[in-house]
Amino acid sequence: MSIGTSTTGTTTPGTDTTSANTDTTGTSRGLDVERVRADTPGCERVAHLNNAGAALPPRPVIEAVAAHFELESTIGGYEAAERNAEAVEGFYGAVAGLIGAHPDEIAYVENATRAWDMAFYAVPFAAGDRILTTTSEYSSNAIAYQQVAVSKGVKVEVIPDGPDGTLSLDALAAELAKGDVRLVSLNHVPTHNGLVNPAVEVGRLCREHGVLYLLDACQSVGQIAVDVREIGADMLSVTGRKFLRGPRGTGFLYVRREIVEALEPPFLDLQAATWKPAEGYEIRGDARRFETWERYFAGQIGLGVAAAYASGIGIAAIEERVRTLAATLRAELAERPGTTVLDRGERPSGIVTFTVDGHEPAAIMRAAREAGININTTSPGSQGYDPDVVPVAVRASVHYYNSEDEVQRLLDVLP
């Protein structure tokens, strides 16, 4: 499996990432697991079931990052960026293509937290505005809500869950109808309970009421289909290191064209704006107003390659594979005495959380790692407003390059 290579030796986005079963629209009809495993060097060393933490990158991403860093070391950082300008610029098209956006709606940001922050703190809040969120919101985002509540006089209100644990759309519609909502902000896939929130339906309600919609897609892009036009998100934040399989220390922000000029970033530099001595400055008119001039160029190139790699395989095939592996793991866990699966929702994600009676999750994680299996644990401190907060639990998160044997290996080492 390969991605096209530029004349400088740096890997750049291409299309040769699948087996032959790809139709003329670029939609994969299948997934060659052995081929993608062979393209993932880490599979030779570990059974990696911690993809919600940081996934194993494929060889083209590794090579792209390494090649650019080597170029920096031999000709200089500025010079390497100039020589690989096409690959740097290719990031925007590759990411936009993956999520159904336009390249000018994409900003390269160093991680999902900073991408989310740049969007959230650009919203022009005023006293009396309301922010609506969900019980499963990530605590990092909740801290930002509270800061703005104190500094701007806005109100933060948590929409209750429906019967299956996802955000109640009826409750959301009722709150939107009351007015004064400036922003609906929620996570697509929480970090801790397998849930997939109804992002498309939330977007429809936000459009009906003319309310801004910020979606934290940190755990969704790369494992399930995310189309910003279908979802209707105004802003969407993503990391590179999780299911997208990009370099750590990379991420991106999507901002819809029609609203970008209404959002002033919380800070600016010479990438985000142009200095005009007589007038002060002029902010860029596209999403790159949310960027900073200095960035991890090797990482930006690598993230573009990761996006092109996922698109080449086909997100539909990826999603099917992830859901199948996760469903298999949940079913096996549910049959084990003393084991409780904690996941919610009608169609859970690739994140599987569970507890085993009489055994500390941290001890289970350590035992698995000693056996060459990477898993992780959840933390109640990251689970925001959840009234039924998940206790410390084991978290296994599968991806399309994982094998059935690796799932079985995990089951075999559990108490």
Task: Give the pLDDT confidence of 198-223 residue by residue, as tens digits.
Answer: 999 999 999 999 999 999 999 999 99
pLDDT at 379: 83
Cα of 42 vs its chain's centroid, Å: 21
Side-chain-side CA neighbours of 360 within 13 Å: the count stands at 4
Report pTM.
Answer: 0.91
The rounded distance, in Å, linking the Cα atoms of 172 and 168 is: 6
For 79-126, the pLDDT digits (tens) are 999 999 999 999 999 999 999 999 999 999 999 999 999 999 999 999
The rounded distance, in Å, linking the Cα atoms of 297 and 322 is: 30
3-state class of 143 per DSSP?
helix
Percent of the chain at pLDDT above 90? 86
The rounded distance, in Å, linking the Cα atoms of 155 and 232 is: 24
Side-chain-side CA neighbours of 215 within 13 Å: the count stands at 29
Given a cut of 50, is residue 13 above it in pLDDT? Answer: no
pLDDT at 165: 86
pLDDT-derived band at 62 (thresholds 50, 70, 90) equals very high
Could you state, in order of their start, the residue ranges of all structural domains in the chain? Answer: 89-312
Section 56-66 average pLDDT: 98
pLDDT at 382: 74
Section 15-42 average pLDDT: 62
Amino acid at 140: S
pLDDT at 22: 32
Structure tokens at 38: 């062979």
3-state class of 50 per DSSP?
strand
When the pLDDT of each residue in the chain is averaged and rounded to a whole number, the result is 92
DSSP H or E stretch at residue 169: helix 169-178
**Class of domain 89-312 (CATH, top level):** alpha beta
Query: In sequence order, which residues have a C-beta less than 8 Å from that of residue 181 and are 6 or more positions away?
Result: 129, 130, 131, 132, 175, 209, 211
Nearest to 195 by CA among 326, 387, 347, 318: 347
pLDDT-derived band at 30 (thresholds 50, 70, 90) equals confident
DSSP H or E stretch at residue 74: helix 59-75
For 254-296, the pLDDT digits (tens) are 999 999 999 999 999 999 999 999 889 999 999 999 999 999 9
For 349-392, the pLDDT digits (tens) are 999 999 999 999 999 999 999 999 999 999 887 777 877 777 89
Nearest to 184 by CA among 195, 175, 196: 175
Residue 25: how many CB atoms within 10 A of its CB? 6
pLDDT at 25: 31
Query: In sequence order, which residues have a C-beta less than 8 Å from that of residue 287 and are 6 or more positions away?
Result: 104, 105, 106, 107, 253, 254, 255, 260
